[in-house]
Amino acid sequence: MLVLTAGEMAGLDARTIRDVGIPGIVLMENAAQGAAAFFLRMVPDLLKRPIAVLAGSGNNGGDGFAMARIFHSKGAHVNVFCLRSPQKLNGDALTNFSIVEKMGIPIMVWDEAKDFDTQWKTVSSSGAVIDAILGTGLKSGVHGLYREVIEALNGLTVPVLAVDIPSGLDASTGRPLGAAVKATATATFGFVKIGCVVGRGPELAGRLEVIDIGIPPAIVESSGFSRWLLHERLLSEWIAPRDRETHKGKAGHVCVLSGSIGKTGAATLVCLGAGRAGAGLVTLFVPESLNEILEVKLTEAMTLPIAETPQKTPSLAALKQILDFLPGKQVLAMGPGISTGKDTSALVKELLLIAPCPIVVDADAITAVSDDPTILRKAYAPLVLTPHPGEMARICHCSIPDIERNRLESAEKFSKDYGVVLVLKGPRTIVAAPDGKLAINSTGNPAMASGGMGDTLTGIIAGLLAQGFDPFRAACLGVYVHGAACDKLFSGIASRGLLATDMLREVPAVLGLLERGGSL
């Protein structure tokens, strides 16, 4: 499912009108018809409710006028509220307003000189509200009447149905521009807008439905967009059931550098994640004095004791042991729980430069290169970095708010600058590749806010890499499956109390559903 900026969507509209000859009024009608059908599914008794359509002066208002006509024609009682003078309308929006006017649908033009509460009374007594105030082209903060209306709208208890995007939501960042509508459902046109699926977008958009407005596939394909919202239909195309002749030697061997005193759990979770993702073999490089502990904790994974520092963390002296073992192995996952001591960090840097297989870099390994991230450009093999916002801020030498202000831009820039696949964790985890491909995850829930979740993700991505998926696809599959496994257990049940080990049991089931093209 493609995810576009407001500008990209506008470009597709323009090309469809100019190059194909489909008039804008036809695209607007397709949008309104599709949105109306979706809203009727969302609110089955919608036609029996008084409907208020709040319309601005742009094409978003035009969509609202078209929907007012559709619902009126189906027998609903509709009132239209123009928040700006109809004299400011033009083009397709003006055409649809004129139709509404000629059909005798009640229209109230808001008068800012009059009492707000008196004019709002009809809206507040409605059984449903169509938000067609501000569209995806909004750039500046919402103020004045629009802000007052949006804040009043958010105080209502009836269904609020947004047209294309909740009014006031930034279509590129998912941030409210001063004030934004909190919708029950949003009908977005053509393709998903970035702002609906990142930041506060998912919360404000409510149930999101993409409406096909008739843009020809050839126009989309020739535009070369490579930004997706991850969902089962897309990922099912990437994964198939294994051949019946597969054995553990053909399913990939994951090597793991993880663990120190007090952090043996991190090493365990990485190894379990790799195994649950389907890796045939897993070997843990473990500080030698901790080997007995990890041999007890790990049943399926093997261990290789390595040289350690006086603090019982992985030592640079272990470099030869590790390099001697890595040939013929498919991936190295390193970082969780290894500490950030000088000697251990030196080991991480050397492995980045000369390890012969792809590396998943997480946690303390990310911190190890934060003083000089340019080392990432010199890596011998492909890298997948999996920072949370704090680690991302550390390696970018900025603040967490700087990263969170525009997560897509942060991830995309870092990936291109350093030539790595970047997995920026958090709600709606982002996966960015150096060639410009970008994906936004659609799975996961607040119950995932517990220790060890990141360690399991590192293992899952490593396990998928070991089985032959390229770094971008392994990362995309990993974050989707990781979140979906948690959703199977806890979504709609609770927002806390989920353990990483609980989630791991569901990973094979999610992978199996994707293999069969099923629905989660």
- Give the CATH number of the domain where residue 208 resides: 3.40.50.10260
Q: pLDDT per residue over 95-106, tens digit each? A: 999 999 999 999
DSSP state of 254: E
Q: Does 519 have pLDDT greater than 70?
A: no
Same domain, 169 and 279: no
Q: Which residues on neighbouring strands pair with residue 107, listed in sequence order? A: 80
Handedness of CA 502, 463, 470, 246 (dihedral sign): negative
Q: Are 317 and 307 in contact (CB under 8 A)?
A: yes
Q: pLDDT per residue over 253-265, tens digit each? A: 999 999 999 999 9
Q: Which residues contact 240 (CB under 8 A, 6 or more apart)?
A: 515
State residue 494's pLDDT score. 81
Rounded to whole angstroms, how far apart are CA atoms 283 and 303?
A: 5
Cβ-in-10-Å burial (0-12, 13-18, 19+) of 21 comes to exposed
Domain that holds residue 396: 250-516
Q: Are 269 and 250 in contact (CB under 8 A)?
A: no
State residue 362's pLDDT score. 98
- Nearest residue to 40 (alpha-carbon basis) of 161, 195, 196: 161
What distance, in Å, lies between the first and last C-alpha atoms of the chain? 16
Rounded to whole angstroms, how far apart are CA atoms 376 and 239?
A: 29
**Residue 235: inside a domain:** no
What is the rounded average pLDDT of the residues 101-129? 95
pLDDT-above-90 percentage for the chain = 94
**Residue 239: inside a domain:** no
- Nearest residue to 149 (alpha-carbon basis) of 170, 120, 184: 120
Cβ-in-10-Å burial (0-12, 13-18, 19+) of 293 comes to middle
Q: Tokens for 351, please give them.
A: 């492995």
Q: Does 381 have pLDDT greater than 90?
A: yes
Q: pLDDT per residue over 427-485, tens digit each? A: 899 999 999 999 999 999 999 999 999 999 999 999 999 999 999 999 999 999 999 99
What is the rounded average pLDDT of the residues 393-398? 97
Q: Are 287 and 257 in contact (CB under 8 A)?
A: no
Domain stop point among 225, 259, 277: 225
Same domain, 321 and 384: yes
Q: Does 357 have pLDDT greater than 90?
A: yes
Number of domains in the chain: 2
Q: Does 128 have pLDDT greater than 90?
A: yes
CATH of the domain at 267: 3.40.1190.20
State residue 520's pLDDT score. 63
Between the alpha carbon of residue 426 and those of residues 2, 433, 495, the distances in Å are 21, 18, 15
Rounded to whole angstroms, how far apart are CA atoms 59 and 79?
A: 18
State residue 518's pLDDT score. 66
Per DSSP, the three-state class of 415 is helix
